[in-house]
Structure 1
Amino acid sequence: MRPSLPVAAACAALALACGAAVPAAADSGPSVAFRMTDPRIIESSGLAASRLHPGVYWTHNDSGDGPYVYAVDSATGKTLARITMRGVPARDMEAISLGPDGDLYLGDTGDNLGGKWPEVWIYRFAEPKQLKDESIDVTRFTVRYSDGPRDAEALMVHPKTGRVYIASKNDKGGHLYAGPAKLSTSGVNVFHPVADVPWVTDGAFSPDGSRLVLRGYFWSAAYRWTDGTPRKIDDLDVPMQPQGEGVTFTTDGRALMYSSEGRNSQVWKAPLSGAALPDNVATSPATTESGRPQGGPAESATKDTGSKHAGKKAVGIAVLAAFGGLGYLASKGLRRRRRH
Structure 2
Amino acid sequence: MKSFSDQIRDLIILNGPISVERYMGLCLEHYYASRDPLGAAGDFTTAPEISQIFGELIGLWFAEIWSLMGAPQRVLWVELGPGRGTLTADALRASQLVPAFHEALEVHLVETSPVLREKQQQTLGTSQKKVVWHETLESLPDDAPILIVANEFFDALPVQQYVTDGGQWRQRCIGLAEDNHSFRFGLFKSEQINMPLKPEEGQLLEYPAASISYMTDLSLRLKKQSGTALLIDYGYAAPAYGDSLQALYRHQFVDVLERAGEADLTTHVCFQYLASVARHAGLSVHGLARQGEFLRQLGIEVRASMLAKAAPDEADNIYRAVERLIETDSQNMGELFKILAVSSLTNEELPGIAINQNGILTIV
- Considering the TM-score relative to the shorter chain, is it more than 0.5? no
Instruction: Give me the TM-score of the superposition, normalised by structure 1.
Output: 0.28
Give the helix-richer structure, 1 or 2: 2
